Each structure stands twice: as C-alpha cells, then as structure tokens.
Amino acid sequence: MKNLFIFSHHLIWAPGNNNFDEVIKFTNAPFHYENEFLNWSKEIIPSLRELPDDKHIYFISGDIGLDSSIPYFYEKDEYGPITYVATGLGDTPEDSILRVVIEDDNVNIHIISLNNKNIELYGRQYWNNKLSQKLSNIK
C-alpha cells in the first residue's frame, strides 16, 4: 500500500492537531469539534505519523462550505506522511469539488471549480491572512 485515503464530512483530524483551530472556527458546526473528535488527534494521528515516509495518508473532509468560510484547505503534516484536505459546498461562487488523480502511486489533487483555483495554496498561512481581512471588514 502506498496511499491511504480517509474520507469524512467533519474535519476529524483538526482538533488538537497542528494548530488547526482557525479552520475549526469556520466549519458548519464548530461545537462538534470540542470533544467529539479529539481522540483522532490523540490516538490515531500519532500512529499514522509513525508510518514510513513511502506511505502517504490523505484525510479528505468537507464541512467548510459556509459563505463566511474559505471553501478550500490543504496542508501537509510537518511530522509525518499525512496531507489534510478540506473543501465544501455552500451555494457560493467559491463552491468546488476535488478531482484526485493517481499515476504511478503519485497523488495529485485538483479543485474542480467555477474559478480555477490551486488547492495547495490554501494552508494555515492563507487562512490566517484571509480571516484577518474578513474580521477587519466586520469592524
């Protein structure tokens, strides 16, 4: 096995993991993340990080399709062979779906969207910058 894909609606990988708190705040139901999914970060994520570097794990989730959110998230785990991906549908101009292409065990994830975006640009740094802008516009 080279690639393992774990799909979920909720971002079960986010609570207590890699400072993903900013992403949780902009899900459809952030209160679910307080305790329900914490075991993933405490028990499952460390086990996956111990896998050899030639194994690749992709957590692909939804739950970020709100108009007040950013409908893409992509970040590679700095401690192991895990890539975290999220997208969402919320009847907004940013709605998209993902296309996953696997060739010779290499995984490429593309956004299929009305706006032709590159998923790899939407990590924590992008979210922090974008959310700061949104919050300053509210004031």
pLDDT in tens, the chain (139 residues): 899 999 999 999 999 887 888 888 888 878 777 777 888 888 899 999 999 888 999 999 988 877 777 788 999 999 989 999 998 887 777 778 889 999 998 999 988 875 666 778 888 888 888 888 777 776 5
Domain with 48 in it: 3-138
What is the domain count for the chain?
Answer: 1
pLDDT at 139: 56
Those residues with Cβ within 8 angstroms of residue 100's Cβ, 6 or more apart along the chain or in another chain: 5, 58, 60, 107, 108, 109, 110
Those residues with Cβ within 8 angstroms of residue 4's Cβ, 6 or more apart along the chain or in another chain: 55, 56, 57, 58
pLDDT at 114: 58
Euclidean distance between CA atoms 115 and 123, whole angstroms = 18
